[in-house]
Amino acid sequence: MHGEPCRVCGGDGRIGNALGGSTATCPGCHGSGRRAETSPGFHDVTKTKPSHHRPAVAIATGPKGPTTSEGVQLAREVSACVVLAEDAKTRLLSEIMNHESTHGRCTKTFIKKVRKQTRR
């Protein structure tokens, strides 16, 4: 057998009753006397019931673009900007959609912030 001696039974494979009357197979090594190399001391007990094996719920996707008139106009300005890289445009468009979802519309301060980034 490979591995270190079991820490529970000390490598004997059996543990005794504190009163000395009986012995039982060690629960740590299951009688082998050695620690399993794959077991770090804890084992994962999650998702052991059939009820836990449900298919993943599809995540509802939000709108594909801005929904308010201010957001649509701002998105057009960002898309038309020649200064920004494509990844920066994508990031700004997602910021616009996120701002609309949390605030209901694009605020004047937010519009100024985005327009300032398109002027770089």
What are the domain boundaries of the chain?
1-38, 69-118
Check residue 45 and give its pLDDT. Answer: 63
Instruction: List per-block mean pLDDT (blocks of 10 residues) for the chain, which spans 120 residues.
Output: 76 80 83 70 63 64 80 92 91 91 90 88
Q: Which residue has the tokens 């039974």?
A: 9
Instruction: Give me the amino acid identity at 26.
Output: C
Q: Angle, to 10 degrees, between the axis of helix 108-118 and the axis of helix 69-80? A: 10
Structure tokens at 112: 């100024």
pLDDT (0 to 100) of residue 73: 93
The pLDDT, as a whole number, for residue 44 is 62
* pTM reported for the whole predicted model: 0.48
